Structure 1
Amino acid sequence: MTLRRKLLLVALCTLALPVAGWLYVRQMETLLREGQAQALVASARALARSLVVVDAPLPPGGPAWYVQHASVPITVDGYADDWASLTPWSQPAGKNGKVLLAEDEHWLYLYIDVRATRRHRSDADERLALNADHIILSVASSDEAQRYLIASAAPGATTAIALDPAMGILPDRINAQWQEDGSGFRVELRLPRGLAIEKLGVGVHMPGDGGDPQSADTRPLLAFSPSLSKELALLAPDGVRVRVLTPQAWLLAQSGRLDLPDLPATERPGWFASLVYRSLLATRLDEEGGWADDAPRVDLPEVTEALHGKPATAWRAGESRGSVVLAAAMPIEVKGESRGVVLLEQPSRAVPLLANRALFGLLLTSFAVLLIAGGVLLLFATRLTIRLRRLRNAAERAQDNDGKLDGPFPLIDAEDELGDLARSFARLFDVVGSYTDYLRTLASKLSHELNTPLAIVKSSLDNLDHAGLPPEAQPYLLRARDGVARLGALVRAMSEASRMERAIASAEAEDVNMADIVRGCAEGYRSVAGARHIECILPPGPVSMHVSPELIAQALDKLFDNALSFTPADGWLRIALKPTTDGADIELANQGPSLPTAMQGRLFDSLVSLRDKATPGDAPHLGLGLYVVRLVAERHQGSASARNLEDGSGVVFTLHLRGLPRQRLG
């Protein structure tokens, strides 16, 4: 991974800034909510106490029957069609019954639905059918009460018969409708509003259930109270909807609506802002409803908690886009007895607007800081990369020129860590360059210094020979002469190697066709190959390169001389030229023994040879040929290598050339 990418990853770490800002905004939004919730709870507590102090008509403690308002005219026929809008808020009666109560200006309607798979009908001539399926209805006004028995032997019209002595204005009979189906029966009737009924009892009795067959669950009647709603309007805070609920969460009174103040179109939150608020900030919003004005029962978690004596709050998404609703439920207690719940609901756009503005402002600032930091780090990484590349190029130039620097070392005047590194490199290359120069001139110095001692030793041996040595000393004299000859050849070879290095380094290049060079060399080798077969393989087209033709021919001569010495008299040699993507390869293969594995990496070193040791008196082979081949290849930015043929029949030497660099003019 490059340095710029690493610094880019470091710059990405600044993404923690918008994340931290988002967490901060969420915490701020939570604090705003808590503050607003505490204020609304205080208002709900004050309102609950005010209702008790002003002796408002609060619901009685304990269970009660809730009477809904009939939005459509109800026909007493024993069917539930007219009760469809009120059915979701039915009230249980006994084990199997459900009761619906409704009223209009003139009548109080009652609908009882009993689920029973087995029926026990009364006889037609039986007046009191207490042993059959029946309903006990108890009606009580302020001064009197009466119980009625409702039973029927068949579907249709029936009569509710009074069980108690007749008194006052309560009738002794009530007309009703009895309908049946396979899952139970239904009873529907109505009572005049003029009876001023305060309590109503319903008892559903089935044979085998046990208990008193004439008992009824009597409860007070409750309905929406306009008078209490007027008192709430005087006590309720502005911009807040207030609802008073019975201990069973039935709506008893209500004041206010969930209306938001009108805002200019430019300040209204759009769909994106609302989505951001709900998904990133207000994750604790409850999406449930409960805001309908005509819902007679408000069954919400905060109401349930308040009915158990604990104040509760809840946040929900508002009906308007970008708004929230805060609900606070406070129990109403009179002398330690729960008399209902005060529910305050306050719509607001302030919290989402403030949170969204803070979040967007923080995100814009964070991303601006991120972009600036990323740009600064990228520029820093680019500058640092350029400086490091200058150091690398200087090191590569030093290696290409055998340790000699091409010009001054860069960045040595810098005062930072890279300057220290550059100065350390400069000192190191100075030392290496000095040592390389010493090694480069060591051969010529040694050859110069060894010439005089060799001449002294040689003249001394000649004098000993003229002095007349005994015959047994002649072999030792011959060995001494042979050693001196070898040492002299070595000194001459060292001098020759130094001259060759200087000559190769100063050779001039030109654009030539490599195929012509290889073809000319191959034709010249045929006259010295004897009976050996020489094959020359050339590409069909020209291979143009910028090289020194004299050095290429010299390297081929050294390779051919080396291959010829190992090829049998009737063997073969093969010279091939192969173009490559960056230059060309010259391969010279010959039949002969394979290369030892341990020597394949050392063949192109100086003074290394695999030829048989020469006999005393013969000229020694010093192994400079392949060393010259390596120098020529490296001068042409290439390499030299050797390997055994796969079939084991011989060896192939490869000279990989890329060409000499072109000189710049001016």
Structure 2
Amino acid sequence: MQVRFSIRLQLLVLSLFLFAIPWLGYKYVWELEQYLRIGQEQTMIGTARAVATALHERPALFDSQSAYLQDVRPGTDLYAPPIEVPIQLDGRLQEWRAVSPLIQSYDDRNVVTWFTEQPLDVTLKAQHMVGRYEQYFYAMFEVTDDQVVFRAPNSLSVDRSDHLLIGMLDTQDTLHRYIISPYQPGWVNAYQLDDNPSRFRAVENALDIQGRWELTEKGYNIELRFPIDMTSGALAFALVDVDDQISRQKRYAVGTANPNQSDDLGTVVTPSPEIERILSGLRYADSRVWVIDKHKRVLARAGSIQSSPGLKAENSEQASKDWWNYIEQQWLLPLYYQILTRPPGDFVDELADAYALAGKDINQALSGQSDSLWRLTPDNKAVILSAAYPIFIGDSVMGAVVVEQTTNGIRTLRNRALEQLFHVILAVMLLGTFGLLMFAHRISSRIRTLRDNTEAVIDANGKIVGTLPQVKQGDEIGDLSRSFSAVLSRLQQYNSYLENMASRLSHELRTPIAVVRSSLDTLTQVQDASQQQVFLSRAQSGISRLSSILNSMSEATRLEQAISQEDRERFDAVSVISGCVEGYKHAYPRRKFSIKLSCDTAELCGSPDLIAQMLDKVIANAVEFSQPDSTIALHLWQENRQFKLSVTNTGPLLPRGMHEELTQSMVSVRNDTNTADGPPHLGLGLYIVSIIVSFHRGTIALQDLPDNTGVCVVIGLPLHKH
């Protein structure tokens, strides 16, 4: 079977070549970028390893930190991030907003001491964190308390009101306890308590611990400051709640840990100045370096990724005066960068002020293995690569070094590659366009040739005087040429039919004219009145036959004119056809009629009278070609949004090759057995049927029965769309 290579298929095959260009370019640039990323990952891991090497086996860097803790207790072990500016001790907590993500919440789950035999409802809640500025620790407390009770005037007891307990260890691991219990809101100082943890007796003022206690709508705020050298890193805070102004009974203490027990204190972590000095000495300018402890808290950092270009892409442009460089710089590159994106000069860095890190690479490094991670910035402008390497002291992982870098250099190199690729794509597209133009020229030439050949086979009078040349191409233009040849052949046959129509009409008219002439000639020679009446009747019969022939010839023309003025309406075709069949039973008593209804209703849009007239012609044709007492069967059904009607009769089969011609005008295949008294047959019945079917936008098909016992006419009419 020959494959049809159509024009569409040819264009599709040709277009596939153009589609392959961007795919090849994508594969090329993607492979290049993958190799560059792999190289950058290896470089970053090597940098992290070099920084970690400077920190290996140096336990003094971690002695004052919480890195030796096996587990960090959230809310108990505190992290004191560096603060950009000193805190103004006013109780408003404005300066703490910059580090607000590190603020811890304390509620009934953080009760460190009960002062009653039975637990009570905990109504005190607090927000707390510590920070570091130069040589001072700062602490804030945002407390929610339904009843704020200050010390009674002239009261020497410091623990019979709402107060803050502070416990810390000095460098000799000696526990020191302090209390803040003011008479009223305002400036506060701490009192140092005695060494007996079971009682709360102030022995002296601790003026190094100072701050502010301010009332709020929900309770009160506290801001404190004290020197870093007061503690070795072990620290605890507890807020004691007193609600009854009369009994002043202490209810419970909510805080980080119990300040009265040295072994229960938490550890406060601050970024290490010594590690920061080591990092600053590395002078690593194009990356950002972090050092974290094994609990992922930041100990030091250096550098910035905002100013680091990442993998450097040197500018290799040279001042060339040749024509190609001028076209590239002045025309092509400005066009390319309407699509390409240059690396951003700035982007959102969500870790710029981070005090704790997280990520798969960090988890892997803290388990003893180096790893890397790619991430996208929140504004989707830049891609950041981070590499982590563990810090070992002995066989233990005490922390990790994390190095970060952007991929701006890779993007620059990628753009350079795409610039060269676009040059190739542009050249190929120009060649492809030229090829398509040549292909279109070939098609247009074939179409013009077909037009000229078609005009040549028809003369100035519209007569077909030749045939179109045979073409072998299997595409659409070849099909069009063969279709034109077939149309011209049918037109030539129709013209021959019209030219021979005169002889057909003379054949139909000759008999009635001869009857009339012979009757009139004989009438003049016969004197008997009875015989004259016989010849008059015969002459009138001939005249009636002539009138019938003329009426039949003009019936199609009148019907076309009537159809053009017919109004469309919605009607049920099943009821119309069923009613007609009942009439046929009386009109043709020598035929049997059967009707099969496979649908109850069929709503059409058209003319019910025309449908009845169409059925009259089909039934008359079936009666004429069937034998007496035979059955004419009708079948009505719906199929694919169409109403179908079939009329079947037994009798002679259709002539070969005449299935489609029988619906044309003045085509008849009846035997020439008509007498002078018989009805004329001009071949207009099925032609009228085809006109009515076309008016209703339907189809008609004539076919022999499969068992060759008769003929079936199938008419399809579209159903009305609601």
Match of 2:232 in 1: 198
Change (3 A) 1:23 1:645: closer
Rg: which structure is higher?
1
Q: Residue 611 of structure 1 contacts residue 621 of structure 1 at CA under 8 Å; is this kept in 2? A: no
Check if 1:328 corresponds to 2:387.
yes
3-state SS of 1:141 partner: coil
Match of 2:579 in 1: none
Which of these residues, 13, 24, 29, is aligned with residue 25 of structure 1?
29
Change (3 A) 1:161 1:85: same
Change (3 A) 1:387 1:44: same
3-state SS of 2:87 partner: coil
What amino acid is aligned across from residue 94 of structure 2 in structure 1?
A: D
Match of 1:297 in 2: 355
CA displacement 1:27-79 (0-9 Å, x = unmatched): 54234223311321232123213311466724441355444445434343433
Which of these residues, 658, 674, 694, is aligned with residue 612 of structure 1?
674
Check if 1:50 corresponds to 2:54.
yes
Which of these residues, 233, 248, 257, is aligned with residue 304 of structure 2?
257
Output the CA distance in 1 between the equivalents of 2:102 and 2:273.
Answer: 21
What's the C-alpha RMSD, in Å, of the aligned pairs? 6.1
Output the CA distance in 2 between the equivalents of 1:371 and 1:224.
Answer: 62
Match of 1:240 in 2: 287
Which of these residues, 184, 189, 194, is aligned with residue 224 of structure 2?
189
What pairs up with 1:148-547 in 2 under 5 angstroms? 148-152=178-182, 154-165=184-195, 173-174=206-207, 175-192=210-227, 195=229, 197-206=231-240, 207-208=251-252, 214-215=260-261, 218-235=265-282, 237=284, 239-258=286-305, 259-260=307-308, 276=340, 289-292=349-352, 295=353, 297-301=355-359, 305=363, 308-309=366-367, 311-316=370-375, 324-362=383-421, 365-366=424-425, 368-369=427-428, 372-373=431-432, 376=435, 379-380=438-439, 383=442, 387=446, 406=467, 409=469
Structure 2: state its 5+ residue gaps.
111-124, 197-202, 241-250, 319-328, 504-515, 518-541, 561-615, 625-661, 693-722
Match of 1:512 in 2: none
Change (3 A) 1:274 1:227: farther
Match of 2:38 in 1: 34
Change (3 A) 1:417 1:321: closer
Output the CA distance in 2 between the equivalents of 1:603 and 1:325.
Answer: 83
Output the CA distance in 2 between the equivalents of 1:197 and 1:163.
Answer: 16
Output the CA distance in 2 between the equivalents of 1:327 and 1:645.
Answer: 81
Output the CA distance in 2 between the equivalents of 1:249 and 1:646.
Answer: 90
Q: Residue 362 of structure 2 contacts residue 400 of structure 2 at CA under 8 Å; is this kept in 1? A: no
Cα distance, 1:344 vs structure 2:
0.9
Change (3 A) 1:120 1:228: same
Q: Residue 366 of structure 2 contacts residue 399 of structure 2 at CA under 8 Å; is this kept in 1? A: no
Match of 2:11 in 1: 8
Cα distance, 1:351 vs structure 2:
0.9
TM-score by length of 2: 0.50
Match of 1:74 in 2: 87
Match of 2:138 in 1: 109
Cα distance, 1:612 vs structure 2:
3.5
Output the CA distance in 2 between the equivalents of 1:49 and 1:156.
Answer: 51
CA displacement 1:276-330 (0-9 Å, x = unmatched): 569xx99xxxx862353xx251434357535753544333568999864322233
Output the CA distance in 2 between the equivalents of 1:394 and 1:224.
Answer: 93
Kindly tell me the number of residue pairs found equivalent between the two proteins: 475
Cα distance, 1:395 vs structure 2:
9.4
Q: Residue 108 of structure 1 contacts residue 192 of structure 1 at CA under 8 Å; is this kept in 2? A: yes
Change (3 A) 1:386 1:81: closer
Output the CA distance in 1 between the equivalents of 2:387 and 2:141.
Answer: 35
What amino acid is aligned across from residue 129 of structure 1 in structure 2?
A: D
Cα distance, 1:352 vs structure 2:
0.6
Change (3 A) 1:362 1:106: closer
Q: Residue 156 of structure 1 contacts residue 179 of structure 1 at CA under 8 Å; is this kept in 2? A: yes
CA displacement 1:348-403 (0-9 Å, x = unmatched): 43211222333454456446545644653564466367558868987998899999
Cα distance, 1:242 vs structure 2:
1.6
Which of these residues, 537, 543, 546, is aligned with residue 566 of structure 1?
546
3-state SS of 2:214 partner: strand
Output the CA distance in 1 between the equivalents of 2:544 and 2:390.
Answer: 115
Change (3 A) 1:274 1:146: farther
3-state SS of 2:238 partner: strand
What amino acid is aligned across from residue 237 of structure 2 in structure 1?
A: G
Structure 1: state its 5+ residue gaps.
434-438, 440-496, 505-527, 530-561, 581-592, 631-639, 648-666
- Range that drifts further, 208-217 or 250-259: 208-217
3-state SS of 1:257 partner: coil
Q: Residue 545 of structure 2 contacts residue 680 of structure 2 at CA under 8 Å; is this kept in 1? A: no
Change (3 A) 1:72 1:45: closer
Output the CA distance in 1 between the equivalents of 2:292 and 2:543.
Answer: 112
